[in-house]
Structure 1
Amino acid sequence: MTAIRLPADQAGLTVVDWRDVPGANVVRHVEDDQPCLVEREVRHQGEPILLVAHADRERLAAARVEIDYARDQPLLDPLASDRVHKHIVIRKGDLAAGFAQADLVVEGEYRTGHQEHVYIETNGVIAVPEPSGGITVHGSFQCPYYVHKALMHLLAMSAEQVRVLQTEPGGGFGGKEEFPSMLAGHAALLALKARRPVKMVYDRAEDMWATTKRHPSIVRHRTGVTRDGRLVAMEVEVVLDGGAYVTLSPVVLSRGCIHAAGPYRCPNVAIDGRAVFTNTNPNGAFRGFGAPQTEFAVEVHLDRVADALGMDPVKLREKNVLRPGDTTATGQRMGQDCSALAVLREAVRRSGYRRKRRRLAGTNRGIGLALFYHGSGFTGAGEVRLASRCSLATTEHGVEILVASTEIGQGTRTMHAQIVADTMGVPYDQVEVAVPDTARVPDSGPTVASRTCMVVGRILQRCAEDLKARLDGLSPAEHFARHGRVVVTKQYEPPPGILWDEATYAGDAYATFGWACDVAEVRYDPDTFAVATERMTAVHEFGRPIHPVMARGQIEGGTAQGVGFALLEHVVMHDGGMANAQLTNYVIPTTLDTPRLETVMLENHYPYGPFGAKGV
């Protein structure tokens, strides 16, 4: 930027720039590289520079701000970028020796683009300055304590001066994990300067244009296989477009790389991943967190390997699928909670895959499948570092759950209340769930990474067991009436035997995995080449479902998003910005596009989850 010209008449306007930031002018994420308000260099089209507020919308709309720029050549091609946000290397066995054993080597490159979250409710916050000099922020968040920590850093305030409350949002899908810290910072800065409450809610076009997306990916595979279909070498290169700032790219790349070899047994594996800089909006969390990109690539690639061998793709998968005792690319040994073969065989049986594959050959219809897995919780020692805490308290009505885990449409409140009610043996309607409020609830970690049921739910179960033992046979309400409030707090305890080396990316990446196999029946129009999905069979194993109806809803919703990502959704980029930032031009699946879906949930109880549950 070379110049900023503000309106001549600034009566009633509140204007904030980087000089008004009392603390560090950064949005606290994995790294502190992203400014809350730009000082000089603008790295992408959606970068915030100036905040302007007024009590009258029409007066605000008439306030014209002009900015002059000295233009530079943008970097838009991730493969041309030598600025690396994160680099990850995974090694297993001897790759050269593996390829020497191979009778056939198959190579392929697979690409995915951006994906927009399209949650029903856009990002929005209300910031209220307190007479004490602190700030209270209400908003559409997934992670209140992320926002809390970011505001403390930005505003140079203590933990007690910053209060963050989540208002139940209309969806998140990862899009309300890190970005709300930016929006909350903007609203708080305006509120503190104006000395009055400030409401900031993005309209749909603003939300689509400015916020994070799923990382575009380029994944290259080189696979060595014997004539009978045994995988002997897998070489994978993963490139993610991280955009202009780091945000959550290291974590997304981490999960993507760990899952890049798929749920398969291979003695020799080399995975190299990097998330790189481009002059586009920073990309961030989105359902699956990097794994959908890399697992899509390995599944398509295995179909090509099967084709090159002249082998049925199911037979190839059955021959190489992980079983108890096998090790993943990171060297994690599978236990009895490994259900890869079970979900594969059940999906093939339920869908009539083999019969339909023979019948549909040579027609404009087809059938295919994908086998996948997903680690529950944070990678490696991530959960230990978080040290999540949960509390239960007796009340005059029963029990109150005090956690920072948020309800974003996935059923957190219901599921947590079920776990506590069933553990304590009290009626469900006597269990209340507190509003996620950083002034009241402990930090139970973010609502991400398929951890809210398995990790937080297990901590709550331990709290409930302890609280029940303290009640001396009385109901919670009776005990409260006689003895007053009793509070039990527990902290995360890792399952035994989890060993992870962050330096070498080797060991137990996750405490456990969920397993799934989806079969899709499709038809295509030979004139337009349009593809439609007619029917899907989804077989999932994630321990014991705490609430089967809501779990089924998660599978159905994820399937619809997958259909959209594969067939309909396309972010059009122009000069590094989203050119089709409106729902008239960004097409998402409707009920007419969503296939008939048979959902099957297999149970394989995980001993360290609440009632045997993992993450969906």
Structure 2
Amino acid sequence: MPDLTSRTELPGALVAQPDAITPGRARSAPPLRREGPAKLTGTAMYADDLVFPGAWFGATIRSTDAHARLVSIELDPAFDWSGVVVVTAADIPGDNIVSSIKSDQPILVPVGGRIQHHAEALVLIAALDRATLRAARRALRVTTEALPAVFDPLSSEHVFAAYELATGDPDRAFAAADFILEGEYRVGHQEQLYIENNAMIAIPSDDGGVTVHGSLQCPYYVHTALKRGLAMDDRQARVVQAETGGGFGGKEEYPSMIALHAALLAGKARRPVRMIYDRHEDLAATTKRHPAIVRHRTGVTHDGRLVAQDIEVVMDGGAYCTLTPVVLSRGAIHAGGPYRCPNVRIRARATRTNTPPNGAFRGFGAPQTEFAAETHLNRIAEALQLSPLEIRRRNVYQVGDTTPTGQVLSASVAGEEVLERAAEAGEFERLRVRHHRQRASRLGSGTIPGSPLRTER
């Protein structure tokens, strides 16, 4: 049977010396985590583990339209609403705004207002038990008037942010290049998929304030949002970060929304309210990594040295701005990859679509543009019949190089060191030779009888 893995020897116990390069292995002695023992023994308390006597369960009634006008919210008169609290935009004591970079996202869509995305929050309800909560959902009717929706970021005319970086003379450099390659690369939504869903518990206080306990990354974001949306001062709005079961950026700005919802329900009910999302709601309503369309036009010399780059980046911000300007700026700054090029033009913009807002995710825009840069460089290497490793060796940043932002890399860059260590640890050259040999000896017609599918040799 052929060897289908990259393993060079049989698996077994491995002892790695500190600072040693070991194929396929991480460092042998990571630092200990302070919270490790509590999490390992099960004594760590996450938001859903916290108990507050008399707490009610909260829920959000969401839009099923991508773009619409909210015409009315009706409560079934045949249902007993005495055991249910209902909150609409009319009940918000402060600004109906989720505090962020731009003041464009409402806490709840008001009657007569515009719904900008599927799963947008319209009404909040709370009840003593889940059965009553489910019944109340069925007894509440929302009427909307559908409007045309925009889903393509390229066709959207609403721009959240735009940046342009330029150095050298790309047009002249393209004219002198030995070889020019163009390409378009697309990256879709990506869910952070933290193990613990978004969760918040709000407890009203006698001074008219509120304390929220929740799973979050940025307590001061939440504190600012509570003060503005609930018209509270610094002391009335209190935020306690519980153990957070993963975030990766997904609990950076969105917890402000769920904290406001829980606090509004708690304030009207005058008792604690738990807002604990299930996985389906968390996936549908919360922020994701920004989808991106990245177009490259690159000029190189015959030996694979970059001489000109023209890069266009378009990111899909979703319905509201959130942290999009910061994400886009990081993406634009890193769009050329970790490679020197004397003539660069980078144009980046983020537009609005009628989809749930996108926000923070590890890398903040760089993974999208770096993916495009690395894929495009691989295509250049293939066209010039160079090794992907060799073309990177010829172009990777070194001390003294200048980036498209004008930054001179005067300190340690470590690009060459990282490249060589990665190639060694991953056994790149050996595997590349083996894969090339296997492709050359591959047999078969490439057809499947009775099927239109075909694979090329």
Q: Same fold (TM over 0.5)?
A: yes
Q: Which has the larger radius of gyration?
A: 2
Could you tell me how far apart the structure 1 residues matched to 2:336 and 2:418 are? 18
Residue 118 in structure 1 maps to residue 189 in structure 2:
no
- Taking the TM superposition and a 5 Å limit, the aligned residue runs for 1:564-583 are none
State the partner residue of 2:94.
23
2:104 corresponds to which of 25, 33, 36:
33
Partner AA of 1:23 in structure 2: G
Residue 50 in structure 1 maps to residue 50 in structure 2:
no
Could you tell me how far apart the structure 2 residues matched to 1:526 and 1:86 are? 48
Could you tell me how far apart the structure 1 residues matched to 2:318 and 2:262 are? 24
State the partner residue of 1:183.
258
What's the offset of the Cα at 1:4?
1.4
SS at match of 1:89: strand
Could you tell me how far apart the structure 2 residues matched to 1:526 and 1:163 are? 65
Cα 1:526–1:84 shift into 2, 3 Å: farther
State the partner residue of 2:335.
260
Cα 1:310–1:74 shift into 2, 3 Å: same
State the partner residue of 1:612.
none
State the partner residue of 1:77.
152
Partner AA of 1:55 in structure 2: L
Deviation per CA, 1:296-320: give whole Å up to 9, x if none: 0000000111112222221111111
Deviation per CA, 1:401-444: give whole Å up to 9, x if none: xxxxxxxxxxxxxxxxxxxxxxxxxxxxxxxxxxxxxxxxxxxx
Deviation per CA, 1:99-130: give whole Å up to 9, x if none: 12211110000011111111110000010111
Could you tell me how far apart the structure 1 residues matched to 2:166 and 2:225 are? 35
Residue 316 in structure 1 maps to residue 391 in structure 2:
yes
State the partner residue of 2:72.
3
State the partner residue of 2:215.
140
2:352 corresponds to which of 251, 269, 277:
277
Deviation per CA, 1:548-569: give whole Å up to 9, x if none: xxxxxxxxxxxxxxxxxxxxxx
Partner AA of 2:299 in structure 1: G
Partner AA of 1:122 in structure 2: N
What's the offset of the Cα at 1:364?
5.9
SS at match of 1:253: helix
Partner AA of 1:97 in structure 2: R
Residue 208 in structure 1 maps to residue 283 in structure 2:
yes
What's the offset of the Cα at 1:98?
1.6
Could you tell me how far apart the structure 2 residues matched to 1:117 and 1:315 are? 34
- Structure 1: state its 5+ residue gaps: 366-524, 530-616
What's the offset of the Cα at 1:13?
1.2
What's the offset of the Cα at 1:358?
1.4
Deviation per CA, 1:574-616: give whole Å up to 9, x if none: xxxxxxxxxxxxxxxxxxxxxxxxxxxxxxxxxxxxxxxxxxx
Partner AA of 1:60 in structure 2: L
Could you tell me how far apart the structure 1 residues matched to 2:208 and 2:73 are? 30
Deviation per CA, 1:367-408: give whole Å up to 9, x if none: xxxxxxxxxxxxxxxxxxxxxxxxxxxxxxxxxxxxxxxxxx
Moved over 6 A (4+): 525-529
Could you tell me how far apart the structure 2 residues matched to 1:194 and 1:356 are? 64
Q: With the length of structure 1 as denominator, give the TM-score of the two structures.
A: 0.59
Residue 345 in structure 1 maps to residue 420 in structure 2:
yes
SS at match of 1:53: strand
State the partner residue of 2:318.
243
Partner AA of 2:245 in structure 1: G
What's the offset of the Cα at 1:56?
2.1
1:99 corresponds to which of 154, 174, 180:
174
What's the offset of the Cα at 1:337?
2.2
SS at match of 2:425: helix
Aligned-residue Cα RMSD (Å) equals 1.7
Cα 1:328–1:186 shift into 2, 3 Å: same
Q: Which has the higher contact order (CA 8 A, sep 6+)?
A: 2
Residue 86 in structure 1 maps to residue 126 in structure 2:
no
Could you tell me how far apart the structure 2 residues matched to 1:77 and 1:364 are? 38
Could you tell me how far apart the structure 2 residues matched to 1:141 and 1:210 are? 16
Could you tell me how far apart the structure 2 residues matched to 1:362 and 1:86 are? 48
1:301 corresponds to which of 359, 367, 376:
376
- Structure 2: state its 5+ residue gaps: 1-69, 441-445
SS at match of 1:160: coil
2:83 corresponds to which of 1, 12, 15:
12
Q: Structure 1 vs Structure 2: percent identity of aligned residues? A: 55
What's the offset of the Cα at 1:351?
2.4
What's the offset of the Cα at 1:362?
4.6
Cα 1:348–1:146 shift into 2, 3 Å: same
Cα 1:356–1:192 shift into 2, 3 Å: same
SS at match of 2:252: coil
What's the offset of the Cα at 1:526?
10
Alpha-carbon contact 1:364-1:526 (below 8 Å) kept: no
SS at match of 1:326: coil
Deviation per CA, 1:233-285: give whole Å up to 9, x if none: 11111111110000111111111111000001001111111111110000111
Could you tell me how far apart the structure 1 residues matched to 2:234 and 2:176 are? 59
